[in-house]
Amino acid sequence: MLDHERSSFGAGNKIVGAIIFDFDGVIADSEAIANTVLAETVTDFGHSTTLDQALTRYSGRRWDDALTEIESAIGKPLPGNFSGDLKRATLERFRTDLKEVSGARDFIKRFSHIPRCIASSSSLDRLQLCLSVLALEAEFGNHVYSADMVARGKPHPDIFLFAADKLGVRPDQCLVIEDSAGGIRAAVAAGMTAVGLCAASHIREGHHLKLRDAGAVHLAHSWSDVEHFAQQFLQC
């Protein structure tokens, strides 16, 4: 039973029914790893690509659009097994190199009394692998939701509305932690309060401005910053 109407939040205060976490770049410091593997793979196809170039050219884009861009860069069609091989190489790198975004675990445990879930654009098998590597499966149980479960991905609100429904809370009672402009837009479109987190290793200068412009009500450069805002929002 979700206790999202507890009087301890105080009469007249905004009640949060859940904390909804994006995953890559929020809990898992995975974006730099994934884009490093992508850069190496594109380089192997004959077009020298650095991590920063991969982040600039491909990160945050629809995968079909990224594939078109890669084909343009290498000057030929990609083989049919490109996406599958890239995914396998990325997951293998996660098994050896993946770390949490510093402070994520402590934050999750600090707010363990608040209903929570993951709502991510990543596939469910990737999420489950990464949670296992980080030893965080027990913190979320079955409340791990992938955009594969809904009709439209971010920046559409579908995944966040789906997550709120699964947790049994209203959208306006949810606090969303995101690192991408598309994710922030999705949270805002869902009627939720969005915090933009710029703490992972793939974050580059000026990224916070993209999150602000997308509608983040608070910008955080560490999980400690998020905690201060969450305490005020939750009145705890």
**Tally of structural domains, the chain:** 2
pLDDT at 96: 98
C-alpha 41/C-alpha 38 separation (Å) is 5
Q: From 97, 113, 134, give the residue that closes a domain.
A: 97
Does 52 fall in a domain?
Answer: yes
* Same-domain pairing of 121 and 189: yes
Does 86 fall in a domain?
Answer: yes
pLDDT band at 136 (very low <50, low <70, confident <90, very high): very high
pLDDT at 11: 34
* Same-domain pairing of 80 and 121: no
pLDDT at 202: 95
* Same-domain pairing of 195 and 107: yes
DSSP 46-70: T----HHHHHHHHTTS-HHHHHHHH
* Same-domain pairing of 114 and 197: yes
* Same-domain pairing of 43 and 107: no
Q: Is the pTM of this model over 0.85?
A: yes
CB 101 within 8 A of CB 28: yes
* Same-domain pairing of 80 and 119: no
Does 2 fall in a domain?
Answer: no
Does 201 fall in a domain?
Answer: yes
* Same-domain pairing of 111 and 168: yes
* Same-domain pairing of 104 and 21: yes
C-alpha 8/C-alpha 13 separation (Å) is 10
Structure confidence by residue, pLDDT tens digits, 149-173: 999 999 999 999 999 999 999 999 9
Instruction: Look up the domain containing 50 and give its range.
Output: 32-97
pLDDT at 110: 95
What's the mean pLDDT when you consider all of the chain? 91
CA distance readout (Å), 87 to 35, 66, 81, 84, 183:
11, 14, 10, 5, 22
* Same-domain pairing of 111 and 179: yes
Q: From 43, 64, 97, give the residue that closes a domain.
A: 97
Does 13 fall in a domain?
Answer: yes
The two three-digit tokens of residue 63, written as one number: 């995968």
* Same-domain pairing of 90 and 207: no
Which CATH number fits the domain that encloses residue 76?
A: 1.10.150
Which CATH number fits the domain that encloses residue 189?
A: 3.40.50.1000
pLDDT at 236: 60
The two three-digit tokens of residue 7, written as one number: 């009087």
H/E element, 129: helix 124-133
pLDDT band at 233 (very low <50, low <70, confident <90, very high): confident
What type of residue sits at position 38? L
**135-138 long-range contacts, CB within 8 A, separation 24+:** 136/27, 136/100, 136/105, 136/108
C-alpha 194/C-alpha 39 separation (Å) is 30
Does 14 fall in a domain?
Answer: yes
Q: From 97, 129, 154, give the residue that closes a domain.
A: 97
* Same-domain pairing of 13 and 118: yes
* Same-domain pairing of 193 and 176: yes
Given its phi and psi angles, is residue 46 left (phi above 0), alpha (psi -120 to 50 degrees) or beta?
left
Does 128 fall in a domain?
Answer: yes
C-alpha 179/C-alpha 60 separation (Å) is 10
pLDDT band at 232 (very low <50, low <70, confident <90, very high): confident
Does 89 fall in a domain?
Answer: yes
